[in-house]
């Protein structure tokens, strides 16, 4: 089965050679063979020919070839049941089909397995796979627990989605950076952070150890956070908050090289009442 798992990558000829006397790969390395009897290799070759023939009913073909073999008969029955359920749910064959060449996780899978490919980028291979493993939990505790599971190939899926231009890659997921100007008042900054998140605004607090506000704001600008919240002693006493629009500030900075003109520019920094912070940001973020 491990040799058959190489079918998609190496092709049928390489697989059949490895089942027999062995082969030499493209790099010149010698791959030892399993030295199966010729009649068994022929039988497996017949199965592979049938498996890739894209027949209307591959399970019927498998039954003709392996129907007298107990485990194969049981597996074919399970696949027929899954096929029936998919049809009942209206899943067409161009979305889900039986593939008799898949081999996965021989160390723990005990039943049907599946793999998922993106139809627009099939060359990326499987991006979501899984199956049934009835004995896996029992390895770690003296109890039989049937199970099924699956996993996503995050890196591969992300690369494919970027190639398809299905998503835009963002440098940061936060919409607001809460700066920390006085670490002794950290609980108050955390309270602001909590209020933002409860309101559905994605926010983070500056986690570095610098009190330098310029460096904190520069971090937010560098990773693409659009707004920064700044609260110093004056703001705390007046129950106010300064909100800096980092996107607008960056745009203004690019448009002028005169520092005084940049500092006098309006629209990228405002001081507002604390109670108005949430509605102010929601309006700015179009939430």
- Cβ contact 243:221 at 8 Å: no
Q: Spell out the per-residue pLDDT of the chain, length 287, in tens.
A: 889 988 888 899 999 999 999 999 888 899 999 999 999 999 999 999 988 887 788 899 999 988 889 999 999 999 999 999 999 999 998 899 998 888 887 788 888 999 999 999 999 989 999 999 888 888 888 888 889 999 999 999 999 999 999 887 777 889 999 999 998 999 999 999 999 999 999 999 998 888 888 899 999 988 999 999 999 999 999 999 999 999 886 655 444 455 445 445 555 789 999 999 999 999 999 98
Can you name the CATH fold of 176-284? Rossmann fold (3.40.50)
Contact of 108 with 136, CB cutoff 8 Å: yes
Q: Whole-structure pTM over 0.85, yes or no?
A: no
Longest dimension (CA), the chain: 89
**Nearest CA to 76 among 91, 89, 66?**
66
Tell me how crowded residue 201 is: count the other CB atoms within 10 A of its CB. Answer: 19
225: buried, middle or exposed (CB in 10 Å: 19+, 13-18, 0-12)?
buried
Q: CATH 3.40.50.800 in the chain, residues?
A: 176-284
User: Between helices 38-51 and 58-66, what is the axis angle to 10°?
Assistant: 160
The CA-based angle 282-284-236, given to 5 degrees, is 75
């Amino acid at each position: 089965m491990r040799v058959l798992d190489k079918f998609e990558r190496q092709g049928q000829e390489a697989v059949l050679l490895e089942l027999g006397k062995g082969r030499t790969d493209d790099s010149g390395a010698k791959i030892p063979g399993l030295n199966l009897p010729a009649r068994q290799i022929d039988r497996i070759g017949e199965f592979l020919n049938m498996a890739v023939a894209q027949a209307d009913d591959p399970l019927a073909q498998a039954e003709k070839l392996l129907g007298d073999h107990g485990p194969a008969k049981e597996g074919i029955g399970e696949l027929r049941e899954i096929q029936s359920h998919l049809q009942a749910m209206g899943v067409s064959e161009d979305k889900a089909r039986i593939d008799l060449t898949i081999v996965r996780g021989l160390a723990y899978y005990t039943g049907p397995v599946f793999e998922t490919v993106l139809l627009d980028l099939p060359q990326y291979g499987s991006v979501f796979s899984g199956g049934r493993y009835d004995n896996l939990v029992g390895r770690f505790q003296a109890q039989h627990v049937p199970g099924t599971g699956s996993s996503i190939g995050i890196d591969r899926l992300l690369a494919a989605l970027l190639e398809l231009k299905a998503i835009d890659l963002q440098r940061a997921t936060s919409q607001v950076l809460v700066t920390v100007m006085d670490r002794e008042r950290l609980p108050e900054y955390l309270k602001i952070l909590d209020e933002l998140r409860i309101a559905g605004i994605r926010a983070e607090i500056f986690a570095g150890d610098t009190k330098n506000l310029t460096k904190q704001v520069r971090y937010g600008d560098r990773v693409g956070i659009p707004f920064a919240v700044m609260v110093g002693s004056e703001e705390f006493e007046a129950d106010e908050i300064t909100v800096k629009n980092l996107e607008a500030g960056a745009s203004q900075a690019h448009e002028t090289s005169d520092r005084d003109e940049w500092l006098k520019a309006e629209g990228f920094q405002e001081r507002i009442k604390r109670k108005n912070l949430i509605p102010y940001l929601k309006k700015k973020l179009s939430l």
